[in-house]
Amino acid sequence: MATLIQSYEQQYSVLTADITAKISRLISCNEENRDQLSREILSNFEEANDLLEQLELESRSAGAGSRVGAYRVELLRVQDEYRAVVASHAAKYNIDNEIEDYEDWSGLADQQRMLLDNTERVERTGKTITEGYRLVLETEQIGAAVLQDLSVQRETIQRSRGRLRETDEQLNRSSRLLNSMVMRALQDRFVLSVVFVVLGGLGCLAIYFTVT
């Protein structure tokens, strides 16, 4: 694709150089050769326009930067130079056919200027669309990163909840164990109290029988 674009650009450069050379010859040629040379120049202009259209299509297909706008400006400059030469000869020799060709070409030049303006607007629109697409991609990437962060935070919260449940269960077991130990301690104290009471009663009985 790039080789084809370079080939079109080389053909365009050679063609514009040939047109410029023919315009220089047109200034000094005689009346007999001037009509044929003018037809050749007009045909070369049409061929140059076709080349620029093909170059623009290939550049868009390849997604590469295009210099078509600069080439069109250069072609318009050459056309203005040709019209100036034709107008000069028309004033000098009063050639009606040449004037008609010039007027026809003037209308074609206006169409080319309109096409150039449309091309520039299309390029600006394309750049705007590309910029908008880039912003959409950046927004999508940011959204994906945020979703990933939220997913990680959710997993962290779920793990924290799991650890909290485990801690709560351990506290419940510890509380039950502590309650059980307290109950056993109370039971032991009660048993000891009963033993002390019995021993005290037996001691009192022993003292009573000893005295009597």
The answer to whether residue 157 is domain-embedded is no
- pTM of the shown model: 0.42
Count other Cβ atoms within 10 Å, centred on residue 29: 16
The answer to whether residue 20 is domain-embedded is yes
Q: For residue range 149-187, what is the model confidence (pLDDT) as tens digits?
A: 888 888 888 888 888 888 888 888 888 888 888 888 888
Which residue has better confidence, 90 or 86? 86
Q: At what angle do helices 68-93 and 31-62 cross, to 10 degrees?
A: 170
Q: Of the ranges 12-21, 94-103, 134-143, which is most confident?
A: 12-21
Can you tell me the distance from the alpha carbon of 26 to that of 82, in angstroms, rounded to the nearest whole number?
Answer: 9
The answer to whether residue 161 is domain-embedded is no
Chain position carrying tokens 């450069």: 13
Chain position carrying tokens 């924290």: 160
Structure tokens, 136: 């959409």
The answer to whether residue 184 is domain-embedded is no
Chain position carrying tokens 């607007």: 121
The answer to whether residue 194 is domain-embedded is no
Can you tell me the distance from the alpha carbon of 164 to that of 168, in angstroms, rounded to the nearest whole number?
Answer: 6
At 208, which amino acid appears? Y
Q: How many domains does the chain have?
A: 1
Range of the domain at 121: 2-139
Give the pLDDT band (50/70/90) at residue 95: very low
- What is the chain's alpha carbon radius of gyration, rounded to the nearest angstrom? 51
Mean pLDDT rounded to a whole number for the chain: 77
Domain CATH number, residue 44:
1.20.58.400
What residues have CB less than 8 Å from 106, skipping those under 6 apart?
A: 83
The answer to whether residue 93 is domain-embedded is yes
The answer to whether residue 181 is domain-embedded is no
Residue 116 has what pLDDT? Answer: 62
Chain position carrying tokens 């029988």: 209
Share of the chain above pLDDT 70, in %: 75
Residue 48, Cβ density class (10 Å: 0-12 exposed, 13-18 middle, ≥19 buried):
buried
Residue 192 has what pLDDT? Answer: 87
**Distances, alpha carbon 98 to alpha carbons 18, 50, 66, 136, in Å:** 20, 23, 35, 56
At 28, which amino acid appears? S
The answer to whether residue 190 is domain-embedded is no
